[in-house]
């Protein structure tokens, strides 16, 4: 995938860290970003970050002891919502993704 779908204020983004030998659920520390709670500048920052993750996202992420960031993107809140999942290897993750996962907006 080389382009994100259009994102409205109904979009939800979930970021978690997965994988590794000790795949302990508590270590994933999921972070959720609700676009309805973000101002336009914050939405733009998140969209830019997601675009930067597209080239490094891989279905092969997480093999063996490799950690990766799982980004789940729901594009709308309706029942027929579309969901996109990006798996970004930890060693290729943009620093801004790591910071967003650790600290939020």
The share of the chain scoring above pLDDT 90, in percent, equals: 52
In the chain, DSSP assigns E strands to 12-19, 31-34, 67-74, 83-89
- Give the structural domain span for 88: 12-103
98's CB contacts (< 8 A; 6+ apart) are: 69
How far is it, in rounded angstroms, from Cα 85 to Cα 12?
12
Q: Is residue 48 part of a domain?
A: yes
pTM of the model: 0.83
In a domain, residue 5? The reply is no
* Of the ranges 33-42, 58-67, 81-90, the best mean pLDDT one: 33-42
**Contact 95/56 with Cβ under 8 angstroms?**
no
The number of domains in the chain is 1
For residue 77, the model assigns a pLDDT of 56
Cα–Cα distance list, 34 to 3, 12, 62 (Å):
20, 5, 26
| Tens of pLDDT, residues 11-50 | 999 999 988 765 555 556 789 999 999 999 999 999 999 9
């Amino acid at each position: 995938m080389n382009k994100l779908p259009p994102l409205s204020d109904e979009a939800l983004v979930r970021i978690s860290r997965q994988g590794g030998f000790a795949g302990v659920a508590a270590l994933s520390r999921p972070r959720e970003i609700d676009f309805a709670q973000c101002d336009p500048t914050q939405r733009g920052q998140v969209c830019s970050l997601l675009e930067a993750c597209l080239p490094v996202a891989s279905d092969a992420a997480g093999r063996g002891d490799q950690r990766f960031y799982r980004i789940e993107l729901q594009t709308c809140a309706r029942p027929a919502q579309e969901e996109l999942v990006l798996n970004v290897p930890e060693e290729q993750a943009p620093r801004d993704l790591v910071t967003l996962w650790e600290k939020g907006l």
